[in-house]
Amino acid sequence: MIKNNFKKLSIIALSLAVLTFVGCSSSKDSNESIGEQMDYKITGIDPGSGQMALTEQALKDYNTNYTLQASSGAAMTQALADAYANEEPIIVTGWSPHWMFSKYDLKYLEDPKGIFGEDEHTSTVVHKGLKEKLPTAYKVLDEFYWTPEDSQSVMLEINAGGDVKEVARQWITDNADTVSKWTDGVTKVDGDEIRLAYVAWDSEIASTNVIGLVLEDMGYNVTLVQVDAGPMWTALASGDVDAIVAAWLPETHSKYFEDSKDSVEDLGPNLDGARVGLVVPTYMDIDSIEDLAK
Ligand code: PBE
């Protein structure tokens, strides 16, 4: 009897020891470097975005042993939310304007080599000949201009679960003065077709839906086409779509822009003060992409 109990106890003790051992080796050891804790992974977005190419370039030029994982805008923000909730290290390909900066305490890693550019803006780019084809739309698109705060307020509402169209409509109602600057003195049309392409990045979901509704109010029959970055530029160049408000220049989409330059017209910024880069929670003890060097 005693012997039996002793045996049971030993088994329990042994199991505990094994469990403790397994637990320790799988949990994040505080002696691990930040890089080890993240398995040297950067959480990226959709492969076609300009930022992914810039990040690959940065990881090389800064001589790091990090790899970039492609995902999507939505998967990236989910990974960020999960890491943030547990104060775990994470590096994401981030950009502004974006609601993530309102929701979390984040910082851009410094980029002394300037790989991600400075002073990015989002441009409105149309298929050549739009001025003659759809003069009213051309005029409104040319005038379309808002601020990072405007964009961020729309994004926040959508992120909080608002219906995209309803949020865009509400913003238009609340900002009638701004919107009238885009539409004042422009002749309305009667059901002409216009097609706008965009990528499902939060900032572009916001801008494209707002301008889409404004064009609808001007009498257009508007189709929004959601595609990847490469196909968005190809569709614009071929004339399959008439316009985009999602062109990130001068750096992020420079390659796409160069390739389609002959068949498009850049109407200039619709938002200044945009930025792309590597973004981390402020609780992380790194400040520069240089800190990721081997
Ligand atoms: N972004 C958001 C895009 C443009 C908009 C920065 C993720 C990119 O192509 O990288």
Q: Are 144 and 124 spatial neighbours (Cβ–Cβ below 8 Å)?
A: yes
Ligand 1 atom with the shortest distance to the CA of 93: 7
Predicted local distance difference test score (pLDDT) of residue 8: 52
What is the residue with the minimal CA distance to atom 4 of ligand 1? 248
Ligand 1 atom with the shortest distance to the CA of 201: 2
- What's the CA angle centered on 75, arms 226 and 91, to 5 degrees? 120
Instruction: Check pLDDT > 60 for residue 12.
Output: no
What is the residue with the minimal CA distance to atom 3 of ligand 1? 49
Strands of 26-91, DSSP E: 41-43, 67-69
Helix (H, G, I), strand (E, B) or coil at 181: helix
Q: If you measure from the C-alpha of residue 229 to the centroid of ligand 1, how many angstroms do you get, rounded to a whole number?
A: 9
Who contacts 271 (Cβ-Cβ below 8 Å, separation ≥6)? 97, 121, 122, 145, 146, 147, 148, 151, 207
Q: If you measure from the C-alpha of residue 253 to the centroid of ligand 1, how many angstroms do you get, rounded to a whole number?
A: 8
Q: If you measure from the C-alpha of residue 95 to the centroid of ligand 1, how many angstroms do you get, rounded to a whole number?
A: 7
What span, in angstroms and rounded, lies between the C-alpha atoms of 45 and 41?
13
Instruction: Check pLDDT > 90 for residue 195.
Output: yes
Res. 152 pLDDT band, cuts 50 70 90: very high
Instruction: Check pLDDT > 80 for residue 27.
Output: no
Model pTM? 0.86
- What's the CA angle centered on 51, arms 59 and 225, to 5 degrees? 155
pLDDT in tens, 73-90: 999 999 999 999 999 999
The DSSP code for 111 is -
Ligand 1 atom with the shortest distance to the CA of 50: 9
Mutate to test the pocket of ligand 1, among 76, 108, 271, 276 (most ligand atoms within 8 A of CB): 276
Tokens linked to 76: 């990236």
Instruction: Check pLDDT > 50 for residue 219.
Output: yes
Mutate to test the pocket of ligand 1, among 54, 93, 95 (most ligand atoms within 8 A of CB): 95
Residues flanking ligand 1, CB < 6 Å: 45, 49-51, 95, 201, 203-204, 229, 248, 252-253, 276
Ligand 1 atom with the shortest distance to the CA of 276: 6
Ligand 1 atom with the shortest distance to the CA of 51: 10
Ligand 1 atom with the shortest distance to the CA of 73: 7
Q: Are 94 and 276 spatial neighbours (Cβ–Cβ below 8 Å)?
A: yes
Q: If you measure from the C-alpha of residue 110 to the centroid of ligand 1, how many angstroms do you get, rounded to a whole number?
A: 18
Q: Name the burial class of residue 93, with classes exposed (0-12), middle (13-18) and buried (19+) by CB atoms within 10 angstroms of its CB.
A: buried
The predicted model gives 49-58 an average pLDDT of 97
What span, in angstroms and rounded, lies between the C-alpha atoms of 66 and 9?
47
Res. 33 pLDDT band, cuts 50 70 90: confident
Among 33-37, 252-256, 259-263, the range scoring the smallest mean pLDDT is 33-37
Q: Which residues pair with 106 in a beta bridge?
A: 281
Sign of CA dihedral 2, 4, 7, 8: negative
- State how far the alpha carbon of 126 is from the alpha carbons of 230, 240, 258, in Å: 16, 11, 14
The predicted model gives 226-255 an average pLDDT of 97
Mutate to test the pocket of ligand 1, among 72, 199, 205 (most ligand atoms within 8 A of CB): 199
Domains of the chain, with CATH numbers?
3-7+120-273 (3.10.105.10), 13-118+276-292 (3.40.190.100)
